[in-house]
Amino acid sequence: MIELSHIVKRFGEAVILNDISLTFPEGSVTALVGPSGGGKSTLLRSINLLELPSSGSVQVGDDRVEFAPDRKAPWTAIQKIRCETGMVFQNFQLFPHRTAIENVMEGLLVVQKWPREKARARAVELLTKVGMAHKADAWPANLSGGQQQRVAIARALAPSPKVLLCDEPTSALDPELAGEVVDVLSKLASEGTTMVMATHDLRLASRIANQVVFLEAGQVVEQGSADQIFRDPQRERTRRFVSSISAAQTL
pLDDT at position 246 is 64
| 229, burial (CB in 10 Å: exposed 0-12, middle 13-18, buried 19+) | buried
CATH code of the domain in which 50 resides: 3.40.50.300
The model's pLDDT over 72-90, given as tens digits with 9 standing for 90+, comes to 999 999 999 998 999 998 8
What proportion of the chain, given as a percentage, has pLDDT over 70? 97
- The verdict on residue 236 lying in a domain is yes
Beta-carbon contacts of residue 186 (< 8 Å; ≥ 6 apart):
207, 208
- The verdict on residue 190 lying in a domain is yes
* Average confidence score pLDDT of the chain: 91
pLDDT at position 249 is 60
DSSP 160: -
3-state secondary structure of 121: helix
- The verdict on residue 187 lying in a domain is yes
Pairing of strands 163-167, 195-198: parallel
- The verdict on residue 185 lying in a domain is yes
Once rounded to an integer, what is the mean pLDDT over residues 16-26?
95
C-beta of residue 39 within 8 angstroms of C-beta of residue 64? no
- The verdict on residue 7 lying in a domain is yes
- CA-CA distance, 18 to 5, in Å (whole number)? 11
Phi, psi angle pair for 40, to nearest 5°:
-60, -55
C-beta of residue 29 within 8 angstroms of C-beta of residue 189? yes
What domain range includes position 15? 2-93+162-248
- CA-CA distance, 67 to 187, in Å (whole number)? 35
pLDDT at position 1 is 85
- The verdict on residue 241 lying in a domain is yes
Beta-carbon contacts of residue 211 (< 8 Å; ≥ 6 apart):
24, 28, 29, 30, 31, 223, 224, 225, 226
DSSP 21: E
How many structural domains is the chain composed of? 1
- The verdict on residue 152 lying in a domain is no
pLDDT at position 250 is 46
Once rounded to an integer, what is the mean pLDDT over residues 225-238?
90
- The verdict on residue 128 lying in a domain is no
